[in-house]
Amino acid sequence: MDPLLAKAIVVAASAVGAGLAVIAGIGPGIGQGFAAGKAVEAVSRQPEAQGLVIRTLLVGCGVAETTGIYGLFIALALLFFNPLVNLL
Amino acid sequence: MDPLLAKAIVVAASAVGAGLAVIAGIGPGIGQGFAAGKAVEAVSRQPEAQGLVIRTLLVGCGVAETTGIYGLFIALALLFFNPLVNLL
Amino acid sequence: MDPLLAKAIVVAASAVGAGLAVIAGIGPGIGQGFAAGKAVEAVSRQPEAQGLVIRTLLVGCGVAETTGIYGLFIALALLFFNPLVNLL
Amino acid sequence: MDPLLAKAIVVAASAVGAGLAVIAGIGPGIGQGFAAGKAVEAVSRQPEAQGLVIRTLLVGCGVAETTGIYGLFIALALLFFNPLVNLL
Amino acid sequence: MDPLLAKAIVVAASAVGAGLAVIAGIGPGIGQGFAAGKAVEAVSRQPEAQGLVIRTLLVGCGVAETTGIYGLFIALALLFFNPLVNLL
C-alpha cells in the first residue's frame, strides 16, 4: 500500500478526533454555568460575602475546567504534534 | 498515490472536525443561560443588588465561556491555519 | 488524480461540517429558555420590576448566544468563503 | 473525472448537512417549553398578570429561537441556494 | 458516469438527511411535555383557572413547536420536492 495513503487516513482521522475531543467542553460549560448561577443567588442574598463567593466560585470552576482542558490538550496534540503519524 | 487525493482526504476530514469542534458550544450555552436565569431571579427580588449581580454573572460566564472558545479555536485552526496538511 | 474529485470530497465534507457546526445552537436554546422561564416567574411576582428583569434577561442571553454564533460563523465560513478548497 | 459524480457527491452531502443543521432545534424546543411551563405556573397563581407574563414569555422565546433559526437558515441554504456546487 | 448512479447517491443521502432532520423533534417533545406537566399541576391546584392555563399552555407550546416544524419542513422538502436532484 502506498505510504502516502496510509498517512492521509491517519491524519484525516486525527482531524475528526480533534473535533470530537473538544466536545468534552459541554460538561464544564454546563457545570460552571450552574455554579455561576448559584454564586449570583448567593451574592444577591449576602452582598457583603461577594469576595468570598467569587473566590469559592473560581476554585470550583478551576476544578470543573480540568476535563475541558483534557479535551483541548488531546485536540492540540492531534493537530500540532501528532504522535500517531510516527507510528506508521 | 496521488498527493492530491491524500490532501483532499485530510482537508475533507478537517471540515467535519471543525463542525464537530464548535458543538462544544452547547455547554456554555446551557450553563450561561442557567446563570442568567438565576440573575433574573436575584434582581427581581433585590433590585438594589443589580450591579453586584450582573458583575458576578459576567465573572461566572467568562469562566464558562472558556470551553466554547477551545472549540472555536480548534475549528478555526482546522479551517484557517490547518497544521495537518503539512504532516503529509 | 482528477482535481475535480479532490474538490468534490472537500466540498462535500464542508456541507456535513456546516450542518454539524450549527448543532451548537442546542445550548443557547436551552439556556435562554431557562432564563426566559425565570424572567416570566419574576415578572409575575414583581410586575413593577419588569424593566429590570427584561434588561438582565437580555444581558444574560447575549452572553449565552455567543457560542451559538461561533457555530453559525463556522457554518457560514464553510458554505460561503470556504478556506479549505484553497488548501488543495 | 465525470463532473456529474463530483456534483452528486457534493449534493448528497448537502442533504445530510441540511438534516444535521436543523437538529439545532432541540435546544429552543426544550428551552421554550420550560419557559412556557413557568408561564403556565405564573398565570395560574396570578391570573391578573397574564398579559405581562405572555409578553415576557414571547420576548424570551424570541431570543431562544435565534439559534434554531441559524440551523434552519443553514439547512435552507444547503437545499435551495446551495453555494457549494459553485465551488466545483 | 451513469446519471442514474448520480441520482441514486443524492436520493439516498436525502433519505438519511430527512431522517436526521426530524431528530429535532426531541426538543419540542421534552419542552412541551414539561409545560404540560406544569399545566396539570396548575389546574389541579386552581381548577377555576383551567381556561387561562390551557390558553397559556397552547401559546407556549405553539412557540416551542416551531423548531420541530423546521425539522419536519426540511424532511418533507427532501422527500417530496427534493430541490437537490435538480442541481445535478
Q: Give the ipTM of the model, two decimals please.
A: 0.94
User: Would you state the pLDDT for residue B88?
Assistant: 85
Judged by a CB distance cut-off of 8 A, whether residue B25 touches chain C is yes
For residue B21, which amino acid is it? A
> Mean pLDDT throughout E36-51?
93
Q: Residue A33: is its pLDDT beyond 90?
A: yes
Whole-angstrom distance, CA of residue E84 vs CA of residue E86: 5
**Interface mutation vs chain C, best among D54, D56, D57, most C CBs within 10 Å:** D56
Whole-angstrom distance, CA of residue B61 vs CA of residue B65: 6
Q: Measure C36 CA to nearest chain E CA, in Å.
A: 12
DSSP characters for chain A?
--HHHHHHHHHHHHHHHHHHHHGGGHHHHHHHHHHHHHHHHHHHH-GGGHHHHHHHHHHHHHHHHHHHHHHHHHHHHHHHS-SSGGG-
User: Would you state the pLDDT for residue D2?
Assistant: 84
Q: Which chains touch B (3 or more CB pairs under 8 A)?
A: A, C, D
Q: Which chains touch D (3 or more CB pairs under 8 A)?
A: B, C, E
Judged by a CB distance cut-off of 8 A, whether residue E52 touches chain D is yes
Q: What percent of chain D has pLDDT over 70?
A: 99
Q: Residue D47: is its pLDDT beyond 70?
A: yes
User: Would you state the pLDDT for residue D1?
Assistant: 64
pLDDT by 10s per residue, chain C, length 88:
688 999 999 999 999 999 999 999 999 999 999 999 999 999 999 999 999 999 999 999 999 999 999 999 999 999 999 999 988 8
Label residue B88 exposed, middle or buried (CB < 10 Å: 0-12, 13-18, 19+). Answer: middle
Q: Quick one: closest CA in A to B75, which residue?
A: A19
Choose among A45, C74, A40: nearest CA to B33. A40
Model confidence pLDDT, tens digit, residues D56-80 = 999 999 999 999 999 999 999 999 9
What superfamily would CATH give domain D22-83?
Answer: F1F0 ATP synthase subunit C (1.20.20.10)
Between the CA of residue B20 and those of B41, B52, B67, B78, B83, what are the distances in Å?
Answer: 34, 37, 14, 11, 17
Average pLDDT over chain A, rounded to whole?
94
* Residue A46 three-state SS: coil
Q: Residue D60 in contact with residue E69, Cβ under 8 Å?
A: no
Choose among A31, A21, A57: nearest CA to A42. A57
Give the residue carrying C-alpha cell 416544524: E69
DSSP class of C46: -
Q: Which chains touch A (3 or more CB pairs under 8 A)?
A: B, C
E88 pLDDT band, cuts 50/70/90, is confident
For residue A66, which amino acid is it? T
Residues of E in contact with D47 (CB under 8 A): 49, 52
Q: Do A16 and B17 touch (CB under 8 A)?
A: yes
Choose among C44, E22, A85: nearest CA to B40. C44
Judged by a CB distance cut-off of 8 A, whether residue B67 touches chain A is yes
A75 closest CB neighbour out of B19, B64, B74: B74
Model confidence pLDDT, tens digit, residues B6-55 = 999 999 999 999 999 999 999 999 999 999 999 999 999 999 989 999 99
User: Would you state the pLDDT for residue B69?
Assistant: 97
Whole-angstrom distance, CA of residue E83 vs CA of residue C45: 50
All three cell numbers of E88: 445535478
Model confidence pLDDT, tens digit, residues D26-36 = 999 999 999 99
Q: Residue E2: is its pLDDT beyond 90?
A: no
For residue C52, which amino acid is it? L
**E vs B contact (3+ beta-carbon pairs below 8 A):** no
Q: Do C31 and A26 touch (CB under 8 A)?
A: no
> Mean pLDDT throughout E41-54?
92
Model confidence pLDDT, tens digit, residues A2-31 = 889 999 999 999 999 999 999 999 999 999
Q: Residue E45: is its pLDDT beyond 70?
A: yes
B37 closest CB neighbour out of C26, C38, C49: C38
Whole-angstrom distance, CA of residue E31 vs CA of residue D30: 4
Q: How many CA atoms lie within 13 A of C37 on its CB side?
A: 27
Whole-angstrom distance, CA of residue E39 vs CA of residue C70: 36
D82 pLDDT band, cuts 50/70/90, is very high
Judged by a CB distance cut-off of 8 A, whether residue C77 touches chain D is no
Which residues, 6+ apart, have CB-to-CB distance to D60 below 8 Å? C32, C33, C35, C36, C37, C39, C40, C57, C61, D35
Residues of A in contact with B71 (CB under 8 A): 22-23, 25
Q: Quick one: closest CA in D to B34, which residue?
A: D31
**D vs A contact (3+ beta-carbon pairs below 8 A):** no
Judged by a CB distance cut-off of 8 A, whether residue E31 touches chain C is yes
Helices marked H in chain E: 3-21, 26-45, 50-80
Q: Measure C31 CA to nearest chain B CA, in Å.
A: 4
Model confidence pLDDT, tens digit, residues C30-39 = 999 999 999 9
- Between chain B and chain C, how many beta carbons pairs sit less than 8 Å apart? 215
Choose among C46, C87, E8: nearest CA to B6. C87
Q: What percent of chain B has pLDDT over 70?
A: 99
> Mean pLDDT throughout E33-58?
93
User: Would you state the pLDDT for residue B38?
Assistant: 96
DSSP class of D83: S
What b/e string do you get for A49-67 counting C-beta neighbours within 10 Å, with b at 16 or more?
ebeebbeebbebbeebbeb
All three cell numbers of D25: 432545534
A67 pLDDT band, cuts 50/70/90, is very high
User: Would you state the pLDDT for residue B1?
Assistant: 66
- Note the residue count of chain A: 88
Whole-angstrom distance, CA of residue E80 vs CA of residue D43: 42
